[in-house]
Structure 1
């Protein structure tokens, strides 16, 4: 059980670091958009890169922040019945619905990985007038989706322990949840 908990903690730590770093992308996005507005409307000199870069920054924010969102249990869910369940009941429901999550995220990860391998092999660029390399973005998206998959597995392991024992894994190890 201690090894399982260590693995979960490593995944949680990675999600926290990557998720918090992804928050910086929002500030970068704001700077890019303010720069574009100033250049476009004050100097009548729009950039060729700001809109495309803002799309990439938003994509990376979502992809890299997904695991932290999952860790903090902030994803959208339908909780008409779920919120009325006990923590153990919620864990049992999570265990049963994990298959849906895993099927979706595995498909998404496989697709992202395939595209990343192709883009990296052929050094794909965006094909726009700005034409930045696209493979680093695809690589980071694949990394982010992979981390969401790992965080989902960590959540499943936590939920499985809770569903079976009725207590969080931390309680079995004499630690406070945090």
Structure 2
């Protein structure tokens, strides 16, 4: 494999690993919001922002953590035959099937950019009592999709290298 592709793989993997390790602590932020929501409902006036904020934090959690999950190969896979195959056969099949992921991510990104553009242009807000601006969540969505696309490209390069018998370590 050309050195430029190996460098790309190293940079993308390192960046997504860092982002994933940081974002995984978002579950504690989510727990704090939900705990505050529970306490405020019983002791104070219920906070209108907690449910929607929990949804936003959860969306950021799984969108920004998606690339890291893909990197760790911890996503769900149907394993009827796959587990019996050699690493090289797995890499060949993965290199073909990841093309479907690229198509999916392309359309997801296209819709995400369009939705983010709308939110920024028209100062879109949520239809709730709290009525927060939607642009920050949509920007996080686009960033998460881009990171997942970059990670999928890195995995594609590694699979091609392994299928050709020259794995990238």
**Normalized against structure 2, the TM-score is what?**
0.95
In structure 1, what is the equivalent of residue 64 of structure 2? 64
* Residue 129 (structure 1) aligned with residue 129 (structure 2): yes
In structure 2, what is the equivalent of residue 19 of structure 1? 20
Q: In the aligned structure 1, how far is the partner of 2:114 from the partner of 2:54?
A: 24
Q: How far apart are residue 18 of structure 1 and its match?
A: 1.6
In structure 2, what is the equivalent of residue 175 of structure 1? none
Q: How far apart are residue 134 of structure 1 and its match?
A: 0.8
Unaligned runs of 5+ in 2: none
In structure 2, what is the equivalent of residue 53 of structure 1? 53
In structure 2, what is the equivalent of residue 168 of structure 1? 167
**Normalized against structure 1, the TM-score is what?**
0.91
Q: In the aligned structure 2, how far is the partner of 1:52 from the partner of 1:15?
A: 27
Correspondence list, 1:1-178, <5 A: 1-41=2-42, 43-165=43-165, 167-170=166-169
Query: In angstroms, what is the RMSD of aligned CA positions?
Result: 1.1
- Deviation digits for residues 54-92 of structure 1, max 9, x if unmatched? 011111101000000000001101111111111101000
Deviation above 6 Å: which 4+ runs of structure 1?
none
Q: How far apart are residue 122 of structure 1 and its match?
A: 1.7
Structure with more relative contact order (C-alpha pairs < 8 Å, separation 6 or more)? 2
Bigger Cα displacement from structure 2, 15-24 vs 145-154: 15-24
